Amino acid sequence: MSAICRYLKEINMRVAGYDKTPTQLTGELVKLGIEVTYDESVGSLPQWITNNLEETLFIITPAIPQNHPQKVWLESKGVALFKRSEILGLITQNTICLAVAGTHGKTTTSTLLAHVLRELDWDFSAFLGGISSNFGTNYIHHTSEKKYNNSHVTVVEADEFDRSFHRLYPDAAIITAIDADHLDIYQTKEAFEEAFQVFAKQVKKSQQPHLFVNSQLNWPNTGNHFYGFDKHADYQLLHVEIKDGAYLFSVKHKNQEYKFKAGLPGYHNVLNACATIALCHGYLGISMEDLIQPISNFKGVRRRFEYLKNCNSGIVIDDYAHHPEELNMIINSVKDLYPDSEITGIFQPHLFSRTKDFAPEFATALDQLDTTILLEIYPAREQPIPGITSNYLKSIMTSKNAEVLSKEEVLNVLKANKPKVLLILGAGDIDTLREPIMEIYE
């Protein structure tokens, strides 16, 4: 949503909005002259909006609950509320749209794709789901004479929640992973997977390969190209190794191998890099040699395997992981990097429904940590579900080193005993612990 805010502000529209809590991100929007309120009452709507409802574009994220007072009032006035995905569809319809879909890896892969285009001086815009560490923003607009088919390129995330990605008709796309999620919307794993098939059919057909799919997925070979570890992949990953804390790998394409260094650690980020390489080479026509440098100097995305501290006093890594598979990826990657260290994780479950749907999988993933600290579930748009709490999650874990604490209690525990390796995990407001934890490790 904030990337669209930045875009609308850039084209000289007056912008205001609501968010649940103040964050670093909303603070950055305020600095740009965007009005932000944290009061959900109708009375907090700016007068210049309430006096001009017909001349105002209202964009809503699915994270807003159905009974949100401002939403209810606007609907009572007959005002049209546009989904974020609808606006992205409108913005991208006259550009070459490159979309990244998948349960995991969307934000990192789309941000890496944007980073490559900027490094190679392409004419493009990007609407990202996280703050790029290279650019310090989630909206990028760069003008250049280097275009694709004389057209402006737009990079977007294709979000599966609420079937939002069905509003997009990209020219080329990546599918990184399909692990069932959002079952409050889809009900079944089969319906979730079918939604990706629908999205794939909306990718425009062209002379070039236009759909790039992770070879680990059970995906039909219908003219698309595969990337990944499978030996039949069009862009095959080989020789992944960790050297001096960095992940080195090769990509084999048409019997020729090219050596790369990943900007971010973790096998999942090697896969994200391979996806980016496949689309850039296979669709945009960028040479493998030209991709080596930008792939290596990618700094990542805020809250995606982000090192807050990496020094003698300790290692603190912040990650947005909120699905069991994402927890498995980050925890296993950290274990690979620091095999001789005990690892402590602070995890804030996100949504009561997701916790209920995947409780055994969450417990198994968290049991891989040496010590687990659970915060209470972040509800976002949801109402509590009886019996679904962080204490319930703890009760089905086998680890004896797990406890449920408040944020204040977490900080007191860390002050008394700083873990050598600490992971901050979750998609709610756990990021408010970043600054106080960094102060403890100073």
CA nearest to 5, candidates 34, 48, 44: 34
What per-residue confidence (pLDDT) applies to 209?
Answer: 62
User: How do residues 280-295 score in pLDDT, each as one tens digit?
Assistant: 999 999 999 999 999 9
Q: Which residue has the higher pLDDT, 98 or 246?
A: 98
* pLDDT, position 68: 95
Mean pLDDT of 45-59: 95
Residue 304 pLDDT class (50, 70, 90 cuts): confident
Based on C-alpha coordinates, what's the Rg of the chain? 22
DSSP string for residues in 181-238: --HHHH-SHHHHHHHHHHHHHTSPP-SS--EEEETTS----SS-EEEESSTT-SEEEE
Per residue in 358-371, pLDDT tens? 999 999 999 999 99
| pLDDT reported for residue 397 | 97
Please, is 406 exposed, middle or buried when counting C-beta atoms within 10 Å of its C-beta (0-12, 13-18, 19+)? exposed
| pLDDT the model gives residue 218 | 86
CA atoms within 13 A on the CB side of 270: 24
Return the C-alpha torsion angle 144, 149, 150, 152, nearest 10.
-60
pTM of the model: 0.84
Angle between helix axes 288-296 and 106-119 (nearest 10 degrees) is: 110
* pLDDT at position 5 over 70: yes
- The closest of 68, 79, 86 to 162, measured between CA atoms, is 86
pLDDT at 297 over 90: yes
Question: Given pLDDT bands bounded at 50, 70 and 90, which one contains residue 389?
Answer: very high
pLDDT at position 164: 82
Whether 417 has a pLDDT exceeding 80, the answer reads yes
d(CA 115, CA 276): 10
Quote the CA–CA distance of 232 and 102 in Å, as a whole number. 21
Question: Is the predicted pLDDT of residue 296 greater than 80, yes or no?
Answer: yes
Give the residue carrying structure tokens 């600490």.
422
pLDDT in the model for residue 11: 94
- pLDDT, residue 207, reads 60
257 confidence band (pLDDT: 50, 70, 90): very high
As a whole number of angstroms, the distance between CA 39 and CA 36 comes to 9
**Backbone phi, psi, residue 141, to 5°:** -135, 120
Reduced to 3 states, what is the DSSP secondary structure of residue 366?
Answer: helix
Cβ proximity of 228 and 274 under 8 Å: yes
Q: Pairing between strand 96-101 and 153-158?
A: parallel
Tokens of 257: 């191998």
pLDDT of the residue at 206: 67
Compute the CA torsion angle 311, 315, 321, 327 (nearest 10 deg): 130
Mean pLDDT over 228-245 rounds to: 93
pLDDT band at 208; cut points 50, 70, 90: low
**Model confidence at 179, in pLDDT bands (50, 70, 90)?**
confident
pLDDT at residue 187, rounded to an integer: 77
| pLDDT tens track for 270-282 | 999 999 999 999 9
The chain-wide mean pLDDT, for the chain, equals: 93
Grouping H, G, I as helix, E, B as strand and the rest as coil, residue 166 is helix
Average pLDDT over residues 114-131: 95
Rounded to 10°, the helix 359-366/324-337 angle is 10
> What pLDDT, on the 0 to 100 scale, is given for residue 313?
81
Q: In terms of Cα–Cα distance, which of 378, 293, 422, 384 is closest to 63?
A: 378
For residue 316, what pLDDT band results from cuts at 50, 70 and 90?
very high
At position 423, the amino acid (one-letter code) is L
What is the residue whose two structure tokens read 């595969």?
226
The pLDDT of residue 186 is 79
Contact 102, 174 (CB under 8 A): yes
Q: What is the pLDDT of residues 72-119, one digit of tens each?
A: 999 999 999 999 889 999 999 899 999 999 988 999 999 999 999 999
Domains defined along the chain, listed by start: 2-79 (3.40.50.720), 86-296 (3.40.1190.10), 306-440 (3.90.190.20)
Q: How far is CA 56 from CA 6, 60, 74, 162, in A?
A: 16, 13, 11, 24
Measure the N-to-C terminal CA separation of the chain; round to a whole number of Å. 33
- pLDDT tens-digit readout, 221-236: 887 999 999 999 999 9
pLDDT interval class at 14 (50, 70, 90): very high
